[in-house]
Structure 1
Amino acid sequence: MEKELGKILIIDDDEDVLFAAKMLLKKHAQEVIIEKNPKKIPFLLNNDSYDVILLDMNFSQDTTSGKEGFYWLDQILERDPKAVVILITAFGDVEMAVKALKEGATDFVLKPWQNEKLLATLSTAVKLKQSYKEVDQLKTAKKQLEEEINQPFKDIIGESDAIKSVFKIIDKVAQTDANVLILGENGTGKELISRAIHLKSMRRDNVFVGVDMGAITETLFESELFGHKKGSFTDAKDDRKGRFEIANKGTLFLDEIGNLGMPLQSKLLTAIQNRQITPIGANKVQDVDIRLICATNMPLYEMVEDTTFRQDLLYRINTVEIKLPALRERIEDIPMLADHFIKTYSKKYRKTNKKIAAATLKKLQKYHWPGNIRELQHAIERAVIMSDDNTLVPEDFFFLSQKNKDNGNSLEETFNLDEVEKNIIQKAIDRNQGNISQAAKELGLTRASLYRRLEKHGL
């Protein structure tokens, strides 16, 4: 039999009662603690917690009035206001029972008791105690959630004008259900922004579901997003909910939406327009209620001109557009970001909380950061791991100097076409100070083509 009664404390000055109760309850409880002397109650409560406390009302000093029982009930509830206490007495009367309940007792039983009735009373009491715990957990979760809501940008580090303007847009759009499109280079924090919008929205108590559209193959697209029924295809061994259904009443974040092919764009548009999905193998459509946030590093407007992205889909997903600045456009935030990552990785790798030299910060602010915040994060993680000193010096980031040197290598040093292409693209971007449109023009490419090559080479 499953021991569902948890940990029980029994306090009674009659050793026969204690022995009988323990023999009965040890089959049903995880642990039964018995105590003859009520004066040990403070010690017992200070050193442990109990699911139910069985407390005698009448001890040797006062055998009939229940006065001692009420005194110790008060002592228990003073130490633990949510303690579940069942009072027991050999002199049951209604008036005393009512008073006991008013004083905070959970229930009242007579001795000698009926075993089945006592077990039923304890079972109900344990469920009540469990409900108290669940309420406390919900209150704790609610408090943590409120703290997150009150500090929605705590994970988005920075005080530059560029990032502050992003915060302002989030504040305005979050309370609406408008579709949001987040644009920005790889590593700029698009998912963090999407989560900040969700946490400040009216849907914050519901689920946030993220989907990497670039990782979903065409054959699995409908199953992943819309779900499927058992037996609808060879590997469909069970019903499966799609991401749209899972995100119902919450927020659906579609990352890298620019990587979708045209046929999949059409299917996605239909679902977004109608707010309905049809799982594979189902005959009935399902309504879905979602807040849609999309993100991409691809130039969607140029892709519309190149007919590689549907114009109607673009209009549908970008009711409000947020353009995230590249790290090189907010270099004044690098000291704050560096300090944040240093603290994070010093703690993670059990290192002394390291500091960063002023000369090191200057070096970091001069670097181009093609991988943006993600690259800075990885660079600092590596430096924290490898450095033996308490202060990070420029030499701890020697690999950044090597990257800059590599970017300036002459083309004669390699005949690998991919490397040649990568070097030329990097030089064009550097020469145009990160302006993608100008770099693309100089290279004789469309912006969309250049973005695809940047993705290919990890630039």
Structure 2
Amino acid sequence: MSAKQPGAILVVDDNPDILIAARLLLKQHYLVVKTTDNPFDIEQLVKAHNIEVILLDMNFNRDAISGQEGFYWLKKIITQDPSIVVLLMTAYGDIQLAVDAIKAGAADFIAKPWQNEQLLGAVAAAFAHAKDKQQLGKLTRQTQGLNQALSESSTGPAFDFLGQSAAMKQVFATIDKAAQSDANILITGESGTGKELAAHAIHRTSLRAAQPMISLDMGAISDALFESELFGHKKGAFTDAKADKIGRFELASGGSLFLDELGNLPLNHQATLLAALQNRCITPVGGTKPLDVDIRLICATNDNLQQAVNEGRFRQDLLYRINTVEIRLPPLRERSEDIPLLVNYYLAHFAHRYKRALQITEQDMAALCGYGWPGNVRELAHAIERAVILSDGDTLDVTSVIGATATSLEATQGSSGSYDTFDLEVLEQRTIRAALKHYQGNVSHAAKALGLTRGAMYRRLEKYGL
């Protein structure tokens, strides 16, 4: 006997002899065969056994021949799960009834008593149809989810990932090597060093470049929505679940999934993420059918995850899982030779955006190269944009670039020019206060100047009661 085919089928009929005959025949060919004489059991059995095909009797009352009961339960099944394929059965072979059954959503119509070969052929076709419907449903959900994801963010990085220093050449070489495999990659570095740009560079160079790269800021999602964002949810799974939602794992299947600010993930969610990565499958919130996913994972953090492990804030096993290859992005102060390249790039970019014609003097370029750029490349880009907007004439006004930072420096230093404390939390709190004051309470602008995402900024505001 040939091996049984994967698949789950349910036979629903009020005649016990029919149920026995169907089960004995079908269990020789399929892994899961369930039977019931009560159609009210259908919903529970579908959920419990991931039923794909249902053989459904048309009549459940003695002497009933209209088939209306079959149509009623057919509609209930389709409403519960449109991917299920239903074959209707009746002892009263009627052509018009068969036509009506097909119009109502049945895949086929089987008259009793059946020929075994006929029934097996119809069931095999039904399973093939079920697989096609599942694939179509997946593609439809992916398209809808991608459209939603693209409407929430840009389709790609706003800027190029640039550098010509020895440190950046080493980063580019590592990216080229790592991108050709499916190894999980962890990108580390201070805020503003370009970790998202690096993630996009990895994806573009990889064998998955033709598929989407889906991003999620782990620091910007609430605990309550974590599983919904990553794994999706079914309509009615919780109070605000008004419709099905596809999760980022399923959206990224075949491509890359980029999880930013991973160090902010709470321990309980770390266990959930680890299970999904190990099993390579997910189950939407409120769903019963696990979904296989094929992703290339790229993570980023400005946290020291090994230190977080030592402090009990991060799981050691998850760290092993995500950093098959680790890429550290150097801060801008460690690659100051890249500053002229970056200044000219952002000057050209923003001059074009704002329809300006601006140049920068050698003296001013030297001033920019001598500045420490604590917010790294993100701070530099934001500073050049501000300067392009505020500069008069045809020369970039560097005082508008580095002047804002002087306010923050003055706030963190004593009158003698030296720090009055080396407590990092105190210095951070002072700097955030200074940035908020300079930008007149505009959190987004202050976050950009500090090299923080809005999510990271809001967490610090809450932490310090600002």
> Is 1:367 aligned with 2:400?
no
Q: 1:315 to 1:423 in 2, by over 3 A?
A: closer
Residue identity opposite 2:200 in structure 1: R
Could you tell me whether the CA contact under 8 Å between 2:191 and 2:376 is conserved in 1?
A: yes
In structure 2, the CA distance between the partners of 1:327 and 1:420, relative to structure 1 (3 Å rule), is closer
Which residue is 1:347 aligned to?
A: 352
User: Which residue among 255, 261, 273 is the counterpart of 2:260?
Assistant: 255
Partner deviation per Cα, 1:174-232 (whole Å, 9 max, x = no partner): 01000000001111110111111111111111011000000111100011100111111
CA drift at 1:404: 3.4
Matches of 2:285 and 2:457, distance apart in 1 = 35
Displacement of 1:395 = 3.1
Verify: 1:334 aligned to 2:339, yes or no: yes
Q: Within 5 A, what are the aligned runs for 1:44-443?
A: 155-352=160-357, 354-397=358-401, 398-410=403-415, 421-422=426-427
Corresponding residue for 2:69? none
> In structure 1, how many angstroms separate the alpha carbons of the residues matched to 2:355 and 2:429?
41
Give how far 1:401 is off.
Answer: 3.6
Does the 8 Å contact 1:181/1:317 carry over to 2?
yes
**Per the alignment, do residues 267 and 357 of structure 1 end up closer, same or farther by CA in structure 2, a change over 3 Å counting?**
same
TM-aligned CA deviation for residue 406 of structure 1? 3.4
Q: Deviations over 1:259-313 (max 9, x none)?
A: 0000000000000111110111111211100000000001101000001000000
Aligned AA for 2:178?
A: V
CA distance in 1, matches of 2:362, 2:458: 32
Alpha-carbon offset, residue 419 of structure 1? 11
**Matched position secondary structure for 1:356:** coil
Q: Report SS of the residue matched to 1:219.
A: helix
Provide the C-alpha distance between the structure 2 equivalents of 1:220 and 1:454, rounded to a whole number of angstroms: 18
Deviates more, 1:398-407 or 1:197-206: 398-407
Sort the Cα spacing of 1:284 and 1:411 in 2 relative to 1 into closer, same or farther, 3 A. farther
Residue correspondences, number: 280
Counterpart of 1:370 in structure 2: which amino acid?
P
| TM-score, structure 2 normalization | 0.56
Displacement of 1:153 in angstroms is 13
Instruction: Return the index of the structure with the highest Cα Rg.
Output: 1
Aligned twin of 2:92: none
Question: 1:389 Cα shift?
Answer: 2.3
Amino acid at match of 2:359: K
For the residues of structure 2 that align with 1:246 and 1:363, how far apart are their CA atoms? 45
Q: Could you tell me the TM-score, scaled by structure 1's length? A: 0.57
Gaps of 5+ in 1: 1-151, 427-451
CA distance in 1, matches of 2:459, 2:430: 12
- The 1:264/1:399 distance shift into structure 2, 3 A limit, reads same
Q: Secondary structure at the match of 1:181?
A: strand
SS of residue paired to 1:202:
coil
Shift of 1:156: 1.3
Q: Does the 8 Å CA contact 2:184/2:297 hold for their aligned counterparts? A: yes
**Equivalents in 2 of 1:366, 1:224: separation in Å?**
43
Give the letter for the 2:336 counterpart: I
2:387 and 2:397 in contact (8 A); partners too: no
8 Å CA contact 2:412, 2:430 repeated in 1: no
Distance 2:408 2:287 in 1: 53
Cα RMSD after superposing both structures? 3.2
In structure 2, the CA distance between the partners of 1:424 and 1:378, relative to structure 1 (3 Å rule), is closer
Q: 1:409: how far off? A: 3.1
User: For the structure 1 residues 296 and 362, does the alpha-carbon distance in structure 2 shift closer, same or farther, using more than 3 Å as the test?
Assistant: same
In 1, Cα distance between equivalents of 2:415 and 2:314: 37
Could you tell me how far apart the structure 1 residues matched to 2:399 and 2:245 are?
Answer: 52
Q: Is the 8 A contact 2:411 2:430 kept in 1?
A: no
Work out whether residues 182 and 190 of structure 1, in 8 Å CA contact, stay in contact via their aligned partners in 2. yes
Cα gap change, 1:286/1:425 in structure 2, threshold over 3 Å: closer, same or farther?
same
- Kept in 2, the 8 Å contact 1:226–1:241? The answer is yes
Q: 2:426 & 2:237 partners in 1: Cα distance?
A: 45
Structure 2 CA distance for partners of 1:281 and 1:199, relative to 1, 3 Å: same
Q: What is the CA-CA distance between 1:455 and the residue it aligns to?
A: 7.8
Asked if structure 1 preserves the Cα contact closer than 8 Å seen for 2:186 and 2:324, the reply is yes
Provide, for residues 307-358 of structure 1, a one-character-per-residue CA deviation record: whole Å limited to 9, x for no partner. 1000000000000000000011111100010001111111111112x11111
Between the aligned partners of 1:233 and 1:454, the Cα distance in structure 2 is 26
Deviations 1:347-391 (A, max 9, x none): 111112x11111212221222211111101111111111111212
Cα pair 1:153 1:196 within 8 Å, conserved = no
C-alpha contact (below 8 Å) 2:159/2:197 kept by paired residues:
no
| Aligned-partner Cα distance in 1 for 2:190–2:392 | 33
> Identity of paired residues, percent?
52
